Amino acid sequence: MIDSVRTAFSLPDLRRRILFTVFMLVIYRLVANIPVPGVDLVAWLQFTSQQSGNQVIDFLDLLSGGAVRNFSVMAMGVYPYITASIIMQLITPIIPQLQELQSEGESGRNKISRITYYLTVPLAFLQAIAQVRLIGFSLSTTGDGLAFIMPNFGFGPTELLPTLTTLFAMTGGTMFAIWIGERITDEGIGQGISLIIFGGIIAGLLPNASRLFGIDDVTARIFTIVAFITITVLSVLVIVVIQEGQRRIPVQYGRRVRGRKIYQGQSTYIPLKVNTAGMIPIIFAQSILTFPPLIANFFVGDMSVSGNFFQNIARSISGFGTNPYSPETATFYFYWITYFILVVGFTFFYTDVMVQQQNLPQTLQRQGGFIPGIRPGKRTADYITSVVRRITFIGASFLGIIAIMPGIMTLIGALLRIDGLQQSVLIVSGSGLIIVVGVVIDTMRQLEAQLLMRHYEGFIK
């Protein structure tokens, strides 16, 4: 592998691509440290240092590639573009015009990509408003903490101009991040959008790891460090196995006659991935768990006085998931069980949507292919659906367990009386590990392809 790396850097074109990728990632990390206009950075850092386990901020920080911790102009990262892409994937089977564009090949896909970019701009503007309000409510259980970190944010006569400046800066930061990602994809190595998120996760690795050495109890510190190393190694191993796992359905093509030529039948297969959905279900589940408590904060009223029936309900909802690391409470178990069920449910839903979009039975029938022993048409569609759902059960269970690992380690720490054991899985979250492993594998494959194209020995044996 060392010889292959040396060979990669000895090739001028490949070396230029690698250095360009590194340079663009450095640019992104530099811009990610520029605070958004209007934020009181001292107050913000004081809030975040006191709430290191805030679920909302940790979730947004993961999606932004580590930019939320600095409340920078890149605080939304490329998430509005990801949202727009998911929306386009979900509505394409519903709108006939988009279906026609998808069937037009490369030109149709380029038009869909352009529509996705146009959709990203208004989504980014709306999400900037939502994210600022979301962070404000997540910083206080008694009201809006936004008044302390962004005192001039609002839509009154005096706050309108500073607010628009903040929103346009965040929207511009998102579009700049997308531009960097596209440049990496076109002129560098790897998938640019994924590499930006990957860079943010890696950049936060050392600061997060320093928390392990801040545990006061020496025994708990040793157990937590050993647990962190063990769980990380095992998680990476399982993620590689699941992410690369496939169920190959054999396909036979009959003899075809084209003009005066006769083509013999060929045998191939349809590769169905165990985890088609990636980490999208985890994002959906975290969003569902995050938003209801924050919306309920609008209706809690003054917490120092007793409220009416609706205010009491709102206060109960607002407290849901605010402290998911206290196994003494019943909400702890309800939170993590609900999280697991949502991840599993969204995995099945998203996988079904993706498989239906591919329309494999019709494609096979059009190309003269069939699955041995299965009649074409509806029988083939039912067979593929049944296989997909069986292997998706494994992928969904895997994603669910990865998502609730902090809760599992919290419960084990409480049973063994080891304080802070959950820190072992909070250094890099399960969803973060899925991104890191997936990006590394994808980038290595692209390097492998570049080397093999130039008749050099590759990385992967």
> Residue 418 is part of a domain; what is its CATH number?
1.10.3370.10
Cα 107 to chain center, whole Å?
A: 28
**Residue 451 included in any domain:** no
Residue that wins the pLDDT comparison between 28 and 221:
28
Phi, psi (rounded to 5 degrees) for 383: -65, -45
Check residue 59 and give its pLDDT: 67
- Please tell me whether residues 90 and 234 are part of one structural domain: no
Residue type, 375: R
pLDDT band at 56 (very low <50, low <70, confident <90, very high): low
Output the pTM of the full model. 0.76
**Residue 274 included in any domain:** yes
Check residue 10 and give its pLDDT: 79
53: pLDDT strictly greater than 60 = no
pLDDT 10s digits, 195-210 = 888 887 787 777 777 7
- Please tell me whether residues 182 and 141 are part of one structural domain: yes
- Name the residue among 220, 243, 232 with its Cα closest to residue 405: 232
- Please tell me whether residues 233 and 369 are part of one structural domain: yes
Average pLDDT over every residue of 365-394: 84
Task: Give burial (CB, 10 Å; 0-12/13-18/19+) of 195.
Answer: buried
Contact (Cβ atoms closer than 8 angstroms) between residue 439 and residue 190: yes
Residue type, 360: L
Check residue 142 and give its pLDDT: 46
Determine the Cα–Cα distance for residues 23 and 29; give it in Å rounded to an integer: 10
- List Cα–Cα distances, 42 to 31, 100, 200, 268, in angstroms: 19, 52, 22, 61
**Residue 336 included in any domain:** yes
Check residue 297 and give its pLDDT: 64
Domain residues for the domain of 114 are 1-203
**Residue 126 included in any domain:** yes
- Please tell me whether residues 147 and 286 are part of one structural domain: no
pLDDT 10s digits, 97-148 = 887 887 777 788 788 888 888 899 988 888 888 778 777 766 654 445 677 7
26: pLDDT strictly greater than 50 = yes
- Please tell me whether residues 247 and 160 are part of one structural domain: no
- Please tell me whether residues 87 and 11 are part of one structural domain: yes
Determine the Cα–Cα distance for residues 219 and 359; give it in Å rounded to an integer: 56
- Please tell me whether residues 337 and 196 are part of one structural domain: no
pLDDT 10s digits, 209-267 = 777 777 777 787 888 888 888 888 888 888 888 888 888 888 887 666 666 666 656 77
183: pLDDT strictly greater than 80 = yes
To the nearest whole percent, how much of the chain has pLDDT over 70?
81
- Name the residue among 73, 191, 201, 187 with its Cα closest to residue 132: 73
Residue that wins the pLDDT comparison between 122 and 444:
122
Average pLDDT over every residue of 343-366: 82
Check residue 23 and give its pLDDT: 92
CA dihedral 375, 378, 384, 387 (to 10 degrees): -90
Residue that wins the pLDDT comparison between 185 and 253:
185
Check residue 50 and give its pLDDT: 59
- Please tell me whether residues 197 and 238 are part of one structural domain: no
Cα 164 to chain center, whole Å?
A: 28
**Residue 433 included in any domain:** no
- Please tell me whether residues 344 and 264 are part of one structural domain: yes
The domain total for the chain is 2
| Residue ending a domain, choose from 175, 203, 231 | 203
- Please tell me whether residues 332 and 273 are part of one structural domain: yes
Determine the Cα–Cα distance for residues 221 and 226; give it in Å rounded to an integer: 9
- Name the residue among 321, 299, 316, 317 with its Cα closest to residue 54: 321
**Residue 460 included in any domain:** no
- List Cα–Cα distances, 124 to 24, 66, 223, 375, 458, in angstroms: 22, 18, 43, 47, 40
Check residue 341 and give its pLDDT: 92
- Please tell me whether residues 220 and 114 are part of one structural domain: no
**Residue 375 included in any domain:** yes
Average pLDDT over every residue of 388-411: 86
- Please tell me whether residues 342 and 418 are part of one structural domain: yes
| 122 HSE (CA, 13 A, CB side) | 4
**Residue 442 included in any domain:** no
Determine the Cα–Cα distance for residues 189 and 201; give it in Å rounded to an integer: 18
Check residue 278 and give its pLDDT: 77
